[in-house]
Amino acid sequence: MMKIRNVFYILCSILIILSGCAQQEKVKQPKKQAIPETNEYGGLQLIKVGQEIKQKNWGTLKLEQIKHVNETFTVGTMKIYVDNVRVITLSNMETETKEMLKMYTKLTPEEVQRRLGKTLEQTEAELYASLSGQDIGDTAKYIEITYKVENTGDKEMQFFSMNDVTVNETQPFHVPTKNFLYAEDTLVGTKSVSREDYIPGETRDGLIGLLLSDPKEKVKTVSFTTDTLAAGDTHEKIAEPQTFTISL
């Protein structure tokens, strides 16, 4: 009887110890930190994969991929310094955010003409274009490119560094009509003649955001094609468009 009682006491002691350990484990578990908020564009603040930030009146941004490129690409006297390429998931979006992003999924009248493979009246092409566009779901995924452009020459130059971007060799974007983020270099007209020339020694920042069609696809390559490089005063062609590829 004494042995049974001793075993019972030992078992109770073990249960008490285990219970105390479990309580300690609960205490040790850190509380989930609140996602920081910003009033500015939050993508530039994401530096580690998995990091999140809430952008006021926009949504929650989460960094999925990042490539610190730090490469220079040259076209004539123009230098393109590519800093980073990020892949970001956007969630908890405002209704206005979804509506704005939907605008950038619409086809242009020129794209309608190409896809239908036949000649349409301009009014018909514009109608089809206005009816196109995809509804934005609970999440959206986009690629962000940050860069700088410098005119290292002594003459004014007409140039746009990232006229077209292609992701994974399958999804093409005409940047002047598909980019929803803006900086000095990307706040330009859709036509070459509507863009302000680079003066000698001028440097501009560039920021590009392009919606990806498949949110599950991992980005492996990003290619960009420049616009034609031309002299600012005579519009004489200096260099043909060039294409460069970045691997993630």
pLDDT at 119: 72
Whether the CB-CB separation of 139 and 62 falls below 8 Å is answered with no
Q: How far apart, in whole angstroms, are the C-alpha atoms of residue 204 and residue 202? A: 7
Q: How far apart, in whole angstroms, are the C-alpha atoms of residue 87 and residue 67? A: 9
DSSP string across 156-191? -EE--TTSEEEETTTEEEEHHHH-----TTTS--SS
Q: What tokens were used for 79?
A: 């230098």
pLDDT, tens only, 85-96: 999 999 999 999
Q: How far apart, in whole angstroms, are the C-alpha atoms of residue 40 and residue 62? A: 15
pLDDT-derived band at 17, boundaries 50, 70, 90: very low
Q: Which residue has tokens 């076209």?
A: 75
Instruction: Show Cβ contacts of residue 206 under 8 Å, excluding neighbours closer than 6 positions.
Output: 145, 146, 147, 148, 149, 161, 162, 183, 184, 185, 186
Q: What would you report as the CA-atom Rg of the chain, rounded to the nearest whole angstrom?
A: 27
Q: Which residues share a beta bridge with 63?
A: 88
Flag whether pLDDT at 193 surpasses 60. Answer: no
Average pLDDT, the chain: 83
Closest CA to 145 of 211, 225, 209: 209
**Residue range 16-39: mean pLDDT, rounded:** 63
pLDDT-derived band at 28, boundaries 50, 70, 90: low
Flag whether pLDDT at 21 surpasses 90. Answer: no
E strands present in 32-107: 37-38, 52-55, 59-75, 78-91
pLDDT-derived band at 194, boundaries 50, 70, 90: low
Q: Would you give the end-to-end CA distance of the chain in angstroms?
A: 72
pLDDT, tens only, 131-141: 666 788 899 99
Q: Compute the Cα dihedral for 142, 248, 41, 192 and give only its sign.
A: negative
**Is the pTM higher than 0.85?**
no
* Size (the chain), residues: 248
Percentage with pLDDT > 90 across the chain: 60
Amino acid letter, 192 = S
pLDDT, tens only, 198-248: 999 999 999 999 999 888 889 999 999 999 999 988 889 999 999 999 999
Whether the CB-CB separation of 176 and 131 falls below 8 Å is answered with no
Q: How far apart, in whole angstroms, are the C-alpha atoms of residue 43 and residue 111? A: 29
CB-CB neighbours of 164 under 10 Å: 18
pLDDT at 128: 66
pLDDT, tens only, 145-159: 999 999 999 999 999
pLDDT, tens only, 35-76: 999 999 999 999 999 999 999 999 999 999 999 999 999 999
Q: How far apart, in whole angstroms, are the C-alpha atoms of residue 147 and residue 204? A: 9
Q: How far, in whole angstroms, is CA 206 from its chain's centroid?
A: 12
